[in-house]
Structure 1
Amino acid sequence: MINNNLVLKGIVLSAMPVGDYDKRLSILTRERGKIVAFAKGARRPNNQLVAAANPFCFGEFELYQGKNAYTLSKANIQNYFRDLANDISTAYYGFYFLEFASYFCQENVENLEFLKLIYQSLRALESPRFDNKLVKAIFELKALTIEGIAPMMFHCIGCHTTEKLNYFSIERSGIVCQKCKKDIHVYKISDATRYTMQYIISQRIEKLYTFKLTDEILSELSYIIKKFIDYHIQHRFKSLEIIEQDVYNYKS
């Protein structure tokens, strides 16, 4: 008998109840990008899919491909990211990453880099070595880089000089020199913040979570990225309602 099932590696982005006992899953996979899969009976207490049909579950999913969706038959979960549940605040950062990916990743379009970024970012959230706000800022800027909408940080967007780049234009999406900042609204940023953004944009995902920042630089970095996302994406992520209780004190 021929087995027509597919085995895809990925992470569950969201899970919604369907009918009396089933769940509708959104899974970001390595091989096929974001897909929709139904986990039949996943809300029954003794069903084999109960533990696997939840957000953050990362592993291999065996699926049957139907005309309009997939049906989950088995799952081999390698990481449940259970430590995120120990702190409600940290969990919301994790949900934000999943929501961010769900917004950007298209169905059936391969996006391996985003999957790698989510996995590494969730691991960083679980680590006591990193401030959640730093993990968030790194995730956001790298995600924008993957999607091709990150700001230009390596030369002035006006004259292309690489000297004295201490002004940032949200509207024009990039760094600006002293000469070119005239007649446009800019935010002054430190060399340390610029270097950090350059590092995040250019570095491999596996090397992203290897540094720490002072509170002052982290505040500045977080503020600039937040303003950039608010202006260029203009989408309200529900998970931010709790995260954004933090107050940014950076002044333009």
Structure 2
Amino acid sequence: MMNNNNLVLKGIVLSAMPVGDYDKRLCILTQERGKIVAFAKGARRPNNQLVAAANPFCFGEFELYQGKNAYTLSKANIQNYFRDLTNDISTAYYGFYFLEFANYFCQENVENLEFLKLIYQSLRALESHKFDNKLVRVIFELKVLTIEGIAPMVFRCIGCHTSEELNYFSIEHSGILCPKCKKNAKVYKISDATRYTMQFIISQKIEKLYTFKLSDEILSEIRYVVKKFIDYHIQHKFKSLEIIEQDVYNYKS
């Protein structure tokens, strides 16, 4: 939307870095133009109108002037600061991880409404404290893989396409194998409940993702295979995980 020759974009601040003495460089994931870089001039001055808006997690409408190489933020109407996330350092790091994940996957000037919706719903789920943070994380990760078109095949055997006895997950082959097709493949045995959960996350609308809970056993199992899948197929180190992954995975294949 245009406003007095400025653009008004809806989005969320993924990262904010200091620039010079008083400015900030923002990375914003927007509904209309995907990921953009914007400079918030004077945002580090105590009384500047952009102080509160030029921070990670700020979600709302950003009025920007478009230059040759970047945008300049002139105004912001923030609808959600997600301030409750910062009350617990562990929860905050999960939130930062989601933003870092988005920053890695989303491309500049490529519309990605689904990703923006997913981040917003996932941060709300973290902030609500109704769900285990580890569950919110695995739902977020698997849905990101779905949005990006790299989710594992979990509805049929990737070898013979049968829909029966699907209890063997192959990281290397990106999906489920039946007992016959699992021969000579490195697999992790998973329960029907884990497979059903993965199917639900992949196929469900974003607005209905955070509507269930899992037993500790199933949550541990799905976390393990999704983590292994991401480690193998993405091979990128996310700084926010250094604290999150201090917990121990006890699941055995």
Cα deviation digits, residues 167-214 of structure 1 (max 9, x gap): 000000000001100001000000000000000000000000000000
Cα deviation digits, residues 201-232 of structure 1 (max 9, x gap): 00000000000000000000100100000000
Opposite residue 198 of structure 1, the aligned amino acid is Q
Q: Alignment RMSD, CA only?
A: 0.6
Opposite residue 150 of structure 1, the aligned amino acid is A
1:169, 1:63 → 2: CA distance? Answer: 46
Q: CA deviation at 1:129?
A: 1.1
2:120, 2:246 → 1: CA distance? Answer: 25
Residue 136 of structure 2 is matched in structure 1 by 135
Q: Does 2:146 align with 1:181?
A: no
Q: Does 2:252 align with 1:251?
A: yes
Match of 2:101, SS state, is: helix
**TM-score when scaled to structure 1?**
0.99
1:241, 1:29 → 2: CA distance? Answer: 27
Cα deviation digits, residues 13-65 of structure 1 (max 9, x gap): 00000000000000000000000000000000000000000000000000000
Match of 1:90, SS state, is: helix
Matches within 5 A, 1:47-62: 47-62=48-63
**Structure 1 residue runs of 4 or more that deviate by more than 2 Å after TM superposition:** none
Unaligned runs of 5+ in 2: none
The percent identity for this pair of structures is: 89
1:128, 1:49 → 2: CA distance? Answer: 29
Residue 68 of structure 2 is matched in structure 1 by 67
Residue 196 of structure 1 is matched in structure 2 by 197
Matches within 5 A, 1:99-178: 99-178=100-179
Residue 241 of structure 1 is matched in structure 2 by 242
1:95, 1:129 → 2: CA distance? Answer: 19
1:176, 1:246 → 2: CA distance? Answer: 29
Matches within 5 A, 1:26-37: 26-37=27-38
Number of paired residues? Answer: 251
Match of 2:38, SS state, is: strand
**TM-score when scaled to structure 2?**
0.99
1:181, 1:113 → 2: CA distance? Answer: 34
Opposite residue 154 of structure 2, the aligned amino acid is M
Opposite residue 156 of structure 1, the aligned amino acid is C
Matches within 5 A, 1:72-91: 72-91=73-92
1:184, 1:215 → 2: CA distance? Answer: 28
Match of 1:11, SS state, is: strand
Match of 2:77, SS state, is: strand
Match of 2:8, SS state, is: strand
Cα deviation digits, residues 108-142 of structure 1 (max 9, x gap): 00000000000000000011210000000000000
Unaligned runs of 5+ in 1: none
Q: CA deviation at 1:246?
A: 1.1
2:242, 2:129 → 1: CA distance? Answer: 23
Opposite residue 190 of structure 2, the aligned amino acid is I
Match of 1:185, SS state, is: coil
1:39, 1:115 → 2: CA distance? Answer: 21
